[in-house]
Amino acid sequence: MPKREDKIVRGAIVAVARLEGVVTRSDDPWFFGPFGWVLGEVTAIEPVPCRGAQRLWALDEDTLRRVRRGYRAAQTVLEPADIVSRFAASASYSS
């Protein structure tokens, strides 16, 4: 589990994943029950500001467009200098 609170991005979408299954039991420390989602093909993206909600909710069109753009960008091969500049930009993100 994360130990450094200052490194956790809040109020943003930070990844895209595929739902591969649902479980009712797990030894994983992140499992809180009664149901757990099994995620696969997790892709980190640049944080996209977004207010969350309890339960499932639909993204507005602008947020969805930004998430899709971030996902496509995460799929491209980057040069080392690009990686450094992206890391620096995301490290300065504040919610």
pLDDT in tens, 41-75: 899 999 999 988 888 889 999 999 999 999 999 98
Q: What are the tens digits of pLDDT across the range 15-25?
A: 999 999 999 99
Residues ≥6 apart with Cβ < 8 Å to 74: 16, 43, 44, 45, 46
pLDDT of res. 95: 42
88 has a pLDDT exceeding 60: no
Residue 31's alpha-carbon distances to 19, 28, 39, in angstroms, are 15, 6, 12
pTM of this structure? 0.67
| Contact criterion met (CB below 8 Å) for 22 and 37 | yes
pLDDT of res. 94: 46
Give φ, ψ of 78 to 5 degrees.
-110, 150
Q: Is 47 exposed, middle or buried (0-12, 13-18, 19+ CB in 10 A)?
A: buried
